[in-house]
Structure 1
Amino acid sequence: MDSLVEIDDDTVLTEYLVDMLHKIFDPLPVPMILIDKDSKVRMINQVFADFLGYPKSYIIGKPVAEIDKNTRFPFVLKTKKSEIAWKHKFGNGRTAIVHRIVVLDEQGEVKYAVGMVLFEDLDQFKDIIEKNKLLENEVHLYKSQLKEMYGAKYSWDTIIGNSPKMSQTKFIAKRAAQSISNVLILGESGTGKELFAHAIHNDSARNHMPFVKVNCAAIPSELLESELFGYEEGAFTGAKKGGKIGKFELANGGSIFLDEIGDMPLKMQAKLLRVLQEREFERVGGNRTVKIDLRVIAATNKDLQRLIAEGKFREDLYYRLNVMTIEIPPLRERVEDIEEITIKLMEKLSNQLGIYVPKISKKALELLKSYSWPGNVRELENVLERAINLTETDTILPIHLPLYITQNKRKIDPNSIDSLQNLLEQTEREAIKSCLEYTNGNKLKTAKILNISRTNLYSKIEKYGLE
């Protein structure tokens, strides 16, 4: 009968089995060790013995603390909790990344523990970590670039405003997102038509597929066809070898956003109509039919019905696009949203500019609400960016706003036009008053900002009763 190597009261291993374990684990390049419940070494492979600097015959049967004075195995066996990928400094001064894995029986009692050295050299571990980080960064970069090129970035949360008109617009847009129909977005420049297009795609069943954007007004008419539908090799002088895939093929399975559709040439409108009807097209210079499955989201700030009357837009294309129509209200028709939009834009611009300006005065906000905003949200963003760059505090004041906004509320009656002198004095008084508010009454600073002498400032303060 084989001699026995005792592991615990209930389990024994024959020398034959121990020998088999050594034969299995010795060839492995990973240092491994087997500890019993009494913290004694029962098996260790050759590479680990070499790492520790002892003969295997010396290690076997010894308490693990005699082999490694810094061992944590007694603690691990006591707590019954494994330790994964721990940094450990051995008694011989070497540092490595290790596993300590506890093996329990059916009753949850400790049977033994297995130790493994993952990295014998921390420099090797750091090198792998750095390479892994580099790989992750590259993958993240490629994903970001793909998302930027062919993905929708915005969602409903990006669209700010809960006024009655905007709430109604969002409701219709969300219903449109759940349909498979084409969408036509109408609205003045700067109202956020592209935001709605992104949100509609992201909320649709196609959200995992490409979202391709095309600005019909930005591409020369002679290049628009090849840009939309691609071209075959040799289709024209300068054509890329192997041809080029068009935007419609890139968007296959997803959505294509045709911005400024009202500026599309009539010739291209006819080709687009066929694509919408037949769901197929040919590349420029090719004769192979390309089948596609996508949803068209079009947008324009033009009056398409007027363009139809003028013969500049095809009526049949209009009705093909005008299935789910979303009309975005201009900012002047949703004054209730201006404060919320302003705060959100200030947060965004503060992060972009690195200038923390979280507050706006009540009077400055009232001035923003009283302005008509022909450029809509885009114009508001530009005004706030200018204001943030001008302020030296954490608050936007009227003095930081353009004159065409601060003087917007004062309307002159044509029947009682004041003298030029009086108008100049009114403007001067308002400028001094705003500057004093900005400097918290600091007259020296106010005079410096207004580029006048302190004596002159005192004189004007007295004149206009601004004390």
Structure 2
Amino acid sequence: MKNFMKTKEFIGFCKNVFDKLPVPVDFLDKEGRLVYINKSFLEFLKFNEDDILGKVVTEIEPTSKFLETLKYKQAEVAKRHVFSNGKEAIVHRIPIIDENDELIGGFGMILFDNYEKLKQVTEKIEKIHKELSLYKNELAKINSAKYTLDDIIGESKAIKSCKSKVKKLARVNSNILIIGESGVGKELFAHAIHYESERRECPFVSINCSAIPENLFEAEFFGYEDGAFTGARKGGNIGKFELANGGTIFLDEIGDMPLYMQAKLLRVLQEKEIVRVGSNKVTKLDVRVICATHKNLESLVDEGKFREDLYYRLNVLSLDVPPLRQRKEDISILIDKFTDKFYKDTGLYREVPSDVMNILCNYEWPGNVRELKNIVERICVNAEDTYVTVGDLPSNILNKSLKIERKKSQGLKEIMDNIEMDIIINTLKECNNNKSLAATRLNIPRASLYRKIEEYNIEI
């Protein structure tokens, strides 16, 4: 073993393996004498092989520290070294030791024969790290909570109680089920919970389960590898759960999730890990799950359309968001908010007078806040002047509001008279007080219009 590194077999092996390598390589015996050096190293040192073979390394290169490496049997990896010819390089000096911890010799290699190359590579790596960091930050901004408690508008007791509960729920990491009718703003509450929690700096990823084709659920949730299925994106794709790792995932309309996917989701919640479609690699997860539905999940469980075990896994904590009809005192506040937004978006100022406001507040709003927002935008667009009028309201709002008012009061004639008067006033304004033109637009005789003007004491 003592003379192994000087044998023809070893030298022949080195020539076959290392002579063609573009990387400088050499071998020393345990006394530090050169037994092999490849062509790349000879070119670097500008020596002939016959002149240096068998010499101690410090005779060939006075600056070498290889003898210290052999003495202490400690490898030196990626060390900067300046050669006597003035060249700088990054080198490896590695002792070769047998199974009895006896020194056999040493292996040397120049990793970078030019220090500037290392600097360039280092700079490239640093640039890549900076770009990755930038992309991660941008991705975090894209997948972050967009709404806070301040974005949930209302001063009613019901909404204040709901917002107060959000702060309590945000303190823990348990799964949450948000229950409420369509349009009440369940997603806003999910965003607010995430924003109030310790996960606020981490991703918030939202998925609408009713919008995903049944055959794409697994790929959308857990991601997939390249070629996992026909039409899969080249290079694969990261899933929503992996994207939300460390943060919160919001599963909206959870009641629309197919049964096969419910079983897979249950396993993810239990094991806290996912496997991409077409892969065997397991990815550990730290994700808080918030779900929302307008459906009665207990009824779906009874009907066999929703897994009971998943229901209890999701419904650890719950938040009931009240419909708009149960907090009517918030309607006027919301209307003011929406008209302000309309002004900011379009530059058109609109104001909702008391008569129109009363009609809107009497309406039941089956579509809740979403419906109210859409109607306010519509009447703001339809309005010919600064003030929105009764005539700008959709007929279904007027009719349903009047039916509700009729139940509350016997003064139907007074209500109808007020509506009729508003319509006449607004029509006259549109016609620049031209009574003939106004009568034509209202499709009534001119004499009837004169009588109504006198009856309602309308000033022209």
Task: Name stretches of at least 5 consecutive residues in structure 1 with no aligned partner.
Answer: 1-140, 415-422
Query: Is the contact between residue 228 and residue 246 of structure 1 (CA under 8 Å) also seen in structure 2?
Result: yes
Q: 2:159 aligns with which of 162, 166, 188?
A: 166
Q: Give, in whole Å, the separation in 1 of the partners of 2:443 and 2:151.
A: 48
| Higher mean C-alpha deviation, range 344-353 or range 281-290 | 344-353
Question: Paired residue for 1:106?
Answer: none
Q: Could you tell me whether the CA contact under 8 Å between 2:153 and 2:334 is conserved in 1?
A: yes
* 2:170 alignment partner, SS class: helix
In the TM superposition, what is the alpha-carbon distance from 1:437 to its structure 2 partner? 3.7
- Name the stretch that deviates more: 299-308 or 343-352: 343-352
The amino acid of 1:181's aligned partner reads S
Q: Distance in 1 between matches of 2:287 and 2:136?
A: 22
SS in 2 for 1:152: coil
Q: Is the 8 A contact 1:439 1:446 kept in 2?
A: no
Task: Give the share of equivalent positions with the same residue, in percent.
Answer: 49
Give the alignment partner of residue 230 of structure 1, picking from 223, 233, 251. Answer: 223
1:434 aligns to what? 422
Q: How far does residue 431 in structure 1 lie from its aligned partner after superposition?
A: 5.8
Change (3 A) 1:285 1:260: same
- The answer to whether the aligner puts 1:243 opposite 2:231 as a matched pair is no
Q: Could you tell me which residue of structure 2 aligns to residue 466 of structure 1?
A: 456
State yes or no: 1:365 paired with 2:354.
Answer: no
Q: Separation in 2 of the partners of 1:457 and 1:147?
A: 66
Write the letter of the residue equivalent to 1:225. E
SS in 1 for 2:349: coil
SS in 2 for 1:407: helix
Contact kept in structure 1, 2:225 and 2:235, CA below 8 Å: yes
Kept after mapping to 2: 8 A contact 1:182/1:323: yes
Q: Report the 3-state secondary structure (helix = DSSP H, G, I; strand = E; otherwise coil) of the residue aligned with 2:403.
A: coil
**2:428/2:438 contact within 8 Å kept:** no
CA deviation vs aligned residue, 1:229-288 (integer Å, no higher than 9, x gap) = 001122112222221110000000000111110100011011111111110121111111
What does residue 395 of structure 2 align with? 403
Q: TM-score, normalised by structure 1?
A: 0.63
Structure 1 residues 457 and 327: CA distance shift in structure 2, 3 A: farther
Map 1:364-383 → 2, pairs under 5 A:
364-383=356-375
Displacement of 1:405? 1.9
Question: Which secondary structure state, in structure 2, belongs to the residue aligned with residue 364 of structure 1?
Answer: helix
Taking a change above 3 Å as real, the CA distance of residues 156 and 348 of structure 1, as seen in their structure-2 partners, is same
**Residue 185 of structure 1 aligns to a residue in which SS?**
strand
Question: Is the Cα contact below 8 Å between 1:216 and 1:264 reproduced in 2?
Answer: yes
1:198 deviates by: 0.8
- Mapped to 2, the partners of 1:314 and 1:292 lie a distance apart of 22
Code of the residue aligned with 1:434 in structure 2: it is D
Q: Which residue of 1 aligns with 2:35?
A: none
Which amino acid counterpart does residue 396 of structure 2 have in structure 1? Y
What letter is aligned with 2:379? Answer: A
Higher Cα Rg: structure 1 or 2? 2
Please list, as runs of the form range in 1=range in 2, the aligned pairs for 1:102-117 lying within 5 A after superposition: none
3-state secondary structure, aligned to 1:356: coil
1:182-197 to structure 2, matched below 5 A, reads 182-197=175-190
Matched residues in 1 for 2:306 and 2:183: separation? 23
Residue 269 of structure 1 is matched in structure 2 by 262
Q: 1:348 aligns with which of 333, 341, 350?
A: 341
Distance 1:142 1:284 in 2: 25
SS in 1 for 2:250: strand
Contact 1:436 1:446 in 2 (8 A): no
Which residue among 306, 309, 322 is the counterpart of 1:313? 306
Counterparts of 1:175 and 1:427 in 2: how far apart (Å)? 45
Contact 1:228/1:247 (<8 A) preserved: yes
2:282 maps to a residue whose letter is T
Matches within 5 A, 1:50-449: 146=139, 149-357=142-350, 359-411=351-403, 432-438=420-426, 444-445=432-433, 448=437
Q: Which amino acid aligns with 2:214?
A: S
Write the distance in 2 (CA, Å) between the matches of 1:381 and 1:199.
Answer: 20
Q: CA RMSD in A?
A: 3.1
Cα distance in 2, alignment partners of residues 384 and 461 from structure 1: 33
CA shift, 1:453, in A, is 7.8
- For 2:438 and 2:197, the matched residues in 1 are separated by 54
Q: Residues of 1 paired with 2:449 and 2:150: CA distance?
A: 49
- The residue type paired with residue 270 of structure 1 is A
**Total equivalences in the alignment:** 318
CA distance, structure 1, for counterparts of residue 187 and residue 216 of structure 2: 23
1:21 is matched with which residue? none
Q: 1:85-116 CA distances to partner (integer Å, 9 max, x unpaired)? A: xxxxxxxxxxxxxxxxxxxxxxxxxxxxxxxx
Q: CA deviation at 1:164?
A: 1.1
- Tell me, yes or no, if the aligned pair for 2:324 and 2:368 is still in contact at 8 Å: yes
Residue type of the alignment partner of 1:259: D
Contact 1:217 1:263 in 2 (8 A): yes
Conserved in 2, the CA contact under 8 Å of 1:231 and 1:246? yes
Q: Aligned partners of 1:290, 1:384: CA distance in 2, in Å? A: 47
